[in-house]
Structure 1
Amino acid sequence: MRTRHTRGAGAVAVLATAALLATACGNGGGDADADDAEAQNTTATTTSAAHEGSSENRLAVAYENGVAVLDGETLEIIEEFETEEFTRLNAFGDGRTVLVTTSDGFQVLDTSAPELTDLVIEAETPAHVVRHAGKTVLYDDGTSDTFVFDTDAFAGDDADLPDFETIPGDQAHHGVSIVLSDGTFLSTIGDDEGRTGAFAVDADGEEIARNEECPAIHGEGTAADETVIFGCEDGALIYQDGAFEKLTAPDEYGRMGNAYVSEDSPLVVGDYKDDPDAEGVLLNKIALIDTEARTLEGVDLPEDVGYTWRGVVRGPDDKAYLLGTDGAIHVIDPATGEISESYDVIGSWEGPAEWQDPHPGIVVNGDIAYVSEPATNTVYAVDLTNGEVVASGQLPEAPNEMAVALG
């Protein structure tokens, strides 16, 4: 394992875009961990820069062999595109662009046109997409390389990919990277045998911090005061002001895989699993983390409420909104874990046999949540301030992944 990662002109390639253009037409799909919510939507955060030139409110929905662009208000289908059997969707953060993970890499979907373009950022195994501080950061699990774009990079009408920075990886693993507002680069540590922690490199290419006490590190979120949090199988790892700090789970095995955050709040809600032998992907506990007090606790949900990594967002008043197996959206106080209200939206459902199988999910744009119901091929728009269903739309197949373009 290298102990120093450089980002100087001689060490970091700014790739010419022409060599990376390709058309995605393979038969495979992107691969990732079973609780990889942040890889497709980063629904964890309620803050992202909208593209100034785009006033459309668009929702992208993937289903078997296809992806549809929906009007975000009426949920009418604007356009449909053929794609691979299983794909994932990642909002770019500019209010216009969605990245579709395919066997060739990250394919650019322009929801404004709309058009599934021939532009592809090539990746061996495309995975996490993170948006923060005006940068959109892509991670390739197959190489551990990181691609860094300006979030407004697709603002123009250029037919080519914009220039971007490539930060070479060390050893391939299922990881994630983020670039902070001061240029600090954070990335995970791992190899083909496992993942152990994260490191930080400053804008000059000097490593400033490292922590390898976070087994099975997964996911990323940024809370208030640019406090970055990663999940571990025995707690969480926090980075702030040049230093890492480990938060130990209250259980011997207490795995957090995804952090659902608001960049305006120090309180983080995470998914939580305390039984390493539990089968399936359904969970029935959440983690509550106070990044100021440096505390982590696990909280039980009601007995009839399970959820998956696809089922939690942050919304109005920085509260957490959890889509349960009872078909309701549960409004959760991130400080206490108490459920203040529950809104019935869809029918009750069971966990999927495989994590890739279509199952209900939720994404958010401001006060509006979009909820998918694969059993009826339907997507609903729900006002989170009162639980009212304000629109619904039918898909030709069972909806799977979703991503909001604007918001």
Structure 2
Amino acid sequence: MRPSSFRRAGVFALAIGATVGLAACSGGAGTGSAAPASETAAADTATRVALSYPGGIYVLDGESLEVVADLPSEEFTRLNSAGDGRHVMVTMSEGFQVLDAGTASDEPALTDLVFEAAKPGHVVTHGGKTVLYADGTSDSTVFDTDALLGSTDTLPEVETVPGVEAHHGVSIMLEDGTFLTTVGNADGRNGVVATDASGATIAESADCPGVHGEGTAKDEVVVFGCENGALVYDDGAFTKLTAPDQPYGRMGNAYVSEDSALIVGDYKSDRDAEGYLLDQLALIDTAAKTQRVIDMPAGAEYTFRDVARGPGELAYVIASDGAIHVLDPETGAFTESFPVIEAWEGPAEWQDAHPAIKVSGDIAYVTEPAKNAVHAVDLTTGEVVESATLAQTPNEMALTK
């Protein structure tokens, strides 16, 4: 645990010099001097879709699905929105490299800007802050989400919150400066600690074995997944929610809307089950502090990439039968489904390309790796409004907004 005497004040450092470098194997795609960005430019930019493939990243126009850039990168990269409407964080060998998705007048670029990190992991955006987590050190790098919009050749000012023991973790900062971070080491993970803006401990819990992922619901209530349920942080205190299946009922990822108190989570009740396909979902009411589990429709399974929140605070699951299934988190009922892609099988490894879904407004973007395709779906009608076939097989996906 981080000692209560730890102080975050004064940890700010201007990230320049050695922290700015081109990540290995990026092929010199970045220039470090992309066209000037501004908040106006970001606001005027429509959604851009970033898709990774082995050795590269496509940037697509969100309306036409036209490829506006094809940028070389490393063999396997993970993509996360930076939260500012224009940039994407790319996990590279040296850290989090900044992808500028561009505007109608500015070409996309994989810039030279790199937030150095040992084993870069989760990216969390909330309350005007972006938090980058390094699994290799458990350090968290925090910066103002919009800061990259005005920074073209240097990284913005950051706050580095040192970790204690390295593990695959995640951190988030709330609007009042409360900082929540997972606790663990090389042998496992078991809980979460919350500190105030001075670094003093507010609350902590070690009752979350295998803690993974986070999601922030209405009123800044934060949920972390555990191997036997979930951990909820609300107004300075942790509440443990016990899964209906014991000793193992794992929620690993939370799919949230910050306008809803209801969270949807992936769920696995058999520790020894083979493969990555799941057939149940966890539903958490953060106001009532309750958790229940529901079954997917018969013949429909999914992975961690296949759930998103969208219009009406509903959840949308692109399932193995090729359809998007619409879930009402309040009732736990699947209200409708509509076909989008061909039926598919689960991946042999989690990193392998398989269908994914991301939502912007009323539009869901769905990848179909078996056909090297991506589709835009109007979630209000179920209609596929645009499709595109790519030269390479899409894997990871991130949207700028």
Q: TM-score range by the shorter chain?
A: over 0.9
1:9 Cα deviation after fit: 3.5
1:243 aligns with 2:237: yes
Structure 1 residue aligned with 2:376, among 377, 381, 392? 381
1:304-354 CA deviation, whole Å, 9 max, x = no partner? 001000000000000000010000000001022211110100000000001
| 2:195 maps to 1:195 | no
Cα drift, residue 396 of structure 1: 1.5
Shift of 1:389: 0.7
Q: Indicate whether 1:97 and 2:87 are aligned.
A: yes
Displacement, 1:2?
Answer: 4.2
d(CA) in 2 for partners of 1:98, 1:2: 30
| Segment of structure 1 superposing worse, 60-69 or 153-162 | 153-162
Name the amino acid aligned to 1:87: T
Q: Percent identity between the aligned chains? A: 60
Match in the other structure for 2:174 = 180
Structure 2 residue corresponding to 1:358, chosen from 335, 338, 353:
353
Shift, 1:4, TM fit: 2.2
Aligned mates of 1:243, 1:366 — CA distance in 2: 33
Query: For residues 335 and 51 of structure 1, do their structure 2 counterparts lie closer, same or farther at Cα, with a shift above 3 Å needed?
Result: farther
The amino acid across from 1:255 in the alignment is: R
State the AA in 2 paired with 1:53: A
How far off its partner does 1:8 sit? Answer: 3.5
Q: Which amino acid aligns with 1:251?
A: D
Cα displacement (A) at 1:24: 1.4
Give the whole-Å Cα distance in 2 for the aligned partners of 1:214 and 1:128.
18
How far is the alpha carbon of 1:13 from its aligned partner? 4.6
Q: How does 1:230-269 map to 2 (within 5 A)?
A: 230-252=224-246, 253-269=248-264
Residue 51 of structure 1, CA deviation = 4.8
Secondary structure in structure 2 of the residue aligned to 1:118: strand
Q: CA deviation at 1:131?
A: 0.5
In the alignment, the residues of structure 1 paired with residue 2 and residue 64 of structure 2 have an alpha-carbon distance, to the nearest angstrom, of 52
2:364 is the counterpart of 1:369: yes
Where does residue 114 of structure 2 map in the other structure? 120
CA distance in 2, matches of 1:9, 1:371: 43
- SS of equivalent residue, structure 1 residue 53: helix
The amino acid that maps onto 1:264 is D
Which among 291, 296, 302 is matched to residue 286 of structure 2? 291
Secondary structure at the aligned position of 2:41 is classed as: coil
CA distance in 1: counterparts of 2:114 and 2:5, whole angstroms: 27
Pick from 196, 209, 212 the counterpart of residue 218 of structure 1: 212
**1:150 corresponding residue in structure 2:** 144
Residue 393 of structure 2 is aligned with which of 395, 398, 402? 398
Output the amino acid matched with 2:20: L
- Structure 1 gaps of 5+ residues are 28-49
Q: 1:271 to 1:8 in 2, by over 3 A?
A: closer
Number of residue-to-residue matches in the alignment = 383
Say if 1:51 and 1:95, in contact at 8 Å, map to a contact too.
no
Which deviates further from its counterpart, 225-234 or 112-121? 112-121
Contact 1:358 1:398 (C-alpha < 8 Å) held by counterparts = yes
Higher-RCO chain (CA-CA 8 Å, sequence separation at least 6): 1
Q: Who is 1:53 aligned against?
A: 41
Match of 1:4 in 2: 4
For the residues of structure 1 that align with 2:49 and 2:152, how far apart are their CA atoms? Answer: 23
**1 CA distance for matches of 2:193 and 2:204?**
4
Secondary structure of 1:159's partner?
Answer: coil
Opposite residue 234 of structure 2, the aligned amino acid is Q
Give the C-alpha shift of residue 293 in structure 1: 1.1
Give the Cα–Cα distance (whole angstroms) in 2 for the partners of residues 286 and 371 of structure 1: 20
Q: Return closer, same or farther for 1:271/1:282 CA change in 2, 3 Å cut-off.
A: same
CA contact (8 A) 2:253 2:304 kept: yes
CA distance, structure 1, for counterparts of residue 162 and residue 89 of structure 2: 21
Change (3 A) 1:82 1:127: same
Residue of structure 1 aligned with 2:56, choices 58, 62, 66: 66
2:317 corresponds, among 322, 326, 332, to 322
Q: Quick one: which amino acid aligns to residue 8 of structure 1?
A: R
Query: Which letter maps to 1:127?
Result: G
Asked if 1 retains the 8 angstrom alpha-carbon contact of 2:9 and 2:198, the reply is no
C-alpha distance in 1 between matches for 2:127 and 2:151: 23
Contact kept? 1:233, 1:254, Cα under 8 Å? yes
Secondary structure of the equivalent of 1:254? coil
Q: Hey, what's the Cα distance between the residues in 1 that align with 2:76 and 2:335?
A: 36
Matched residue type, 1:81: L
Q: Identify the match of residue 135 of structure 2 among 141, 166, 181.
A: 141
TM-score, structure 1 length as denominator? 0.92
CA deviation profile, 1:113-147 (whole Å, cap 9, x unmatched): 31111111111100000010000100000000000
Return the TM-score normalized by structure 2: 0.93
- RMSD (CA atoms): 1.3
Distance 1:7 1:403 in 2: 34
* Paired residues of 1:379 and 1:393 also in contact (CA < 8 A): yes
Residue equivalent to 2:13: 14
**Gapped regions of structure 2 (runs ≥ 5):** 27-37
The structure 1 residue matched to 2:72, chosen from 61, 77, 82, is: 82
Are the counterparts in 1 of residues 80 and 123 from structure 2 also a CA contact under 8 Å? yes
Match of 1:36 in 2: none
The runs of at least 4 consecutive aligned structure 1 residues that moved more than 3 Å come to 7-10
Counterpart contact for 2:8–2:161, Cα < 8 Å: no
